[in-house]
A and B are shown apart, each in its own frame.
Chain A
Amino acid sequence: MIRLPAPKPEVMARRPQILAGLAALVPADALITEELRLRPYETDGLAAYRQMPLAVVLPRTTEEVAAVLRFCHQQGVRVIPRGAGTSLSGGALPLADAVVVGLMRMNHILDINFEDRYAVVEAGVTNIGITQAVAGDGFFYAPDPSSQLACMIGGNVMMNSGGAHCLKYGVTANNLLGVKFVTIEGEIFEVGGTHLDGAGYDWLGLITGSEGQLGMVTEVTVRILRGPEGARAMLAAFSSIPIAGQAVDAIIGSGIIPVALEFMDRPCIHACEAFAHAGYPLDAEAMLIIEVEGSVAEQDALLARIRDICAQFSPISMKVAESAEQSLAIWKGRKGAFGAVGRISPDYLCMDGTIPTGELPFVLGRITQMSEQYGLGVANVFHAGDGNLHPLIMFDANDPASFAKAEAFGADILKLCVEVGGCLTGEHGVGVEKRDLMTVQFTADELDLQRAIKSAFDPAWLLNPAKVFPLEGNKVLDAA
């Protein structure tokens, strides 16, 4: 179990006064204090880690957020920002002495400008909600995390979320124009604007991916794009995981950039097929979902080249989606993959490492070996095109030994990613999950430099403090 900083005794002792102070700032239905009702807020998408918070606040306006942060700052109370609570790295895991500030009620679309191709939305709008708001006019918002149905854009900014289609369109950072940003002192700033690259230092670049440690984002301005003329997905099935890995490397190496290039292994194919009925090849050890887009001629030309490349790796089968419904079903399975693994295992830990695509066959082979060593099943589903792995380690949370093994297995996979020249996290964020592995990636000096940035925004480390950096060596948090 992950170590959390000791609750501040002076905050715990003043709980009644702190709750009364919060009650004066927001309407009664926006403050949750009863133990029973706090319970469902003790965790997020990483349900293995749990901690009850001091209170939950559900503000409806930026001003309410600012008032709550200002108050918490004055009172020395820690704050945990929360969106939809879908983080797989425990980004919204509370602390016993912290107030969770949830932005789910800030779910309004504020402005859509098709001429200049941007949308201004509140932080609690879901990722897919942006696309749904502009789809009628032929536009879309490009980054598409698998949880796009539920995850909220504020959280996407804080984790710099990616998704299947980021291979072509880039991650959140590449599609973000501006944010409304609230500091822990309760000051409200507008950062960026409605066009690319604002004046001055790139504050937006600093805030994106800051995991709720520098401030809270309450409004987001994103780039919207006109949708392609058409898109088609194809499935290619292979007889082994390393061979499929080689096919990925060959496709990317040929210079083709599909919109999406996704990988699934046998356990995943079976679980997802049971959910989505997409016609996945149940006889394959590994499968690629490859999507291309453009005019029909463009799609045909690209698909033909991709088929030729795949053919060199003796595929079991290749199938191109014949209708929009088939494409939808193929993506429904992929997007629901993590949850679908819930059908074959009561619990899983979802890893999120990134590696150079040339290392795919080696790393996937090593993961299979480790799975045997640890005696725990693993299902692989990931964004192969950009080398972003998501091994799902299957375990039984009702068995503590199984959980400990899963954690160790996960750590070994991420260390391997760093070893081959990759990175601890592709898109889920470090959160609390990968915090202690940061020393594998960074030296003590590098970590100190990053901590200094956090301290510049939040000297008392009140904002989402126990995440991203190891507690050891933290001069503020671990002083006691």
Chain B
Amino acid sequence: MQTNFTPEQLQDPELKVANGILRTCVHCGFCTATCPTFVELGDELDSPRGRIYLIKDMLESGRPASELEARHIDRCLSCLSCMTTCPSGVNYMHLVDHARRHVEETYTRPLPERALRSVLAMLLPHPGRFRWAMRLAKLGKPLRGLIPGQGTTAKRLRAMLELAPEHIPAPQPVTGTHPAEGARRGRVAMLAGCAQQVLDPEINAATIRLLTRMGYEVVVPPAAGCCGALTHHMGRHDPAMATARANILAWDAEIAAGGLDGIIVNASGCGTTVKDYGFMFRNEPEAEAAARVSALAMDITEALARFDYTPSRTAPPFTVAYHSACSLQHGQKITALPKQLLAKAGFVVKEPAEGHLCCGSAGTYNMMQPEISAKLKARKLANIRRTGAAVVAAGNIGCLTQIGAGGPPTVHTVQLLDWMAGGPKPKAIEGL
């Protein structure tokens, strides 16, 4: 596609990358068909091709973003379904990341929205703060119907309270070194994450149990924390880079200290970002370390396949619907692996129709875009119910929370795999 950047603009390394991405697009329109927001809203402006065009126009002109650009870019889930579909290989992820940063830096959002975004950016990446917020939200949840009005802010506040879990589990700290059981086969680092360890600490516990049982030492350096995805997707460049940098330095120190056979991520939204550190830091002093970290990053299912996961129990005869998180299937192109592992563990695995469409969770999307998110959730739940499965397995905490509220019980894939390899039965399916 033709672009109209001046030679001066192309001196900017970020714009140069954006120009390269735009020039790969041939405007064929295939991406529109598999974009959840285009399918729901039926407007070119809410399709990848339309957004690419809006972004192109905005960046070429160099003008500050306006409410209109913010509106359509904010409606993008960053599910990256378009990248799976695109025959030309357009890197939409890097383009929309660039655009989100441009919006964040040049457009002043209305005060209530700015406040909400700031609160989310302050709370979510910090487990301690987030746990307190969840406790308060739980108290406020029964009162959500009392929030007056049909305005965007009111809807967002109601959506936030709606998401607060009924039960907030006790914290299970995981920092430190978890030695391998029996002969040590290797050593890995694990991303402990942020929101996930508050909402469901059992996911990290199951990951550590399974890996140590398989003979891997698991280290969780105390200096590593949130991966930066939440703020990165809000366009908040500096905080995202700061948290990512902390992880890079912490893990690179572990690489130097004892060597690592992998950096294990069990929330695929985070995994997509950690695998992108190499790109994010390409012009930073930590470029080499970031590239090392990205090269070692792997989803827990990739690690289990590589380390030759073997079950030790006979699975109960119930059917598992495997929900393919967008960050896993589109962001990391991991599609068959989790299903193969679940089948190896002995489960009957079914895949819901329209598996390429996002469930509407998408980081903070279900709070910031509650209406579109609710439509996608209803669509996803209907497709899941048609499988007749008793339980839903997925590899991302966002999806598990979104689908779990109103659908069949949800568990992380690793919890089922740990169970079949000698771990406890996941609490969510105790009754089954």
List residues of chain A with CB under 8 Å of any chain B CB: 32, 34, 36-37, 39-41, 43-45, 47-48, 58, 84-86, 102, 104-105, 107, 124, 126, 128, 147, 149-151, 274-275, 336-343, 346-348, 397-398
Contact = CB atoms under 8 A, between A and B. Distances in A.
B249 to A, nearest CB: 36
A84 B26 contact: no
A396 B53 CA distance: 18
A440 B137 CA distance: 72
Contacts of A48: 2
B30 interface: yes
B217 interface: no
B69 A47 contact: no
Contact of A58 (B31, B33, B42): B42
List 5 A-B pairs, minimum CB-CB distance, nearest first: A339-B87, A342-B88, A336-B87, A397-B2, A105-B42
A45 B2 contact: no
B42 A39 contact: no
Contact of A47 (B27, B42, B68): B27
B28 A102 contact: no
Contacts of A104: 38, 42-44
Interface residues of B, number: 36
A39 B66 CA distance: 14
B420 to A, nearest CB: 27
Nearest to A336: B87
B68 A36 contact: yes
B79 to A, nearest CB: 17
Contacts of B31: 150
B26 A347 contact: yes
B86 A126 contact: no
Contacts of A44: 27, 29
Contacts of B33: 84, 126, 128, 149-150
Nearest to A348: B26
Given A40-B45, A104-B43, A149 B34 contact: yes
A202 B26 CA distance: 38
Nearest to A107: B42
A53 B206 CA distance: 57
Contacts of A86: 28-30
Given A36-B69, A274-B89, 6 more contacts: A32-B43, A36-B66, A84-B33, A126-B33, A150-B31, A398-B3
B28 A45 contact: yes
B1 A346 contact: yes
B44 A85 contact: yes
Contacts of A342: 24-26, 28, 87-90
B338 to A, nearest CB: 18
A340 B66 contact: no
A308 B30 CA distance: 37
Contacts of B38: 104
Contact of B27 (A32, A34, A45, A336): A45
A149 B87 CA distance: 12
A134 to B, nearest CB: 14
B1 A397 contact: yes
Nearest to A127: B33
A31 to B, nearest CB: 11
Contact of A339 (B23, B30, B45): B30
A32 B44 CA distance: 11
B66 A149 contact: no
Contacts of B89: 274-275, 342-343
Contacts of A102: 42, 44
A45 B30 CA distance: 10
A72 B1 CA distance: 32
B88 A340 contact: yes
16 contacts: A32-B43, A36-B54, A37-B72, A40-B45, A40-B50, A44-B27, A86-B30, A147-B28, A149-B30, A149-B33, A150-B32, A338-B87, A340-B87, A397-B2, A398-B2, A398-B23
A275 B87 contact: yes
B105 interface: no
Contacts of B42: 58, 102, 104-105, 107, 124
B14 interface: no
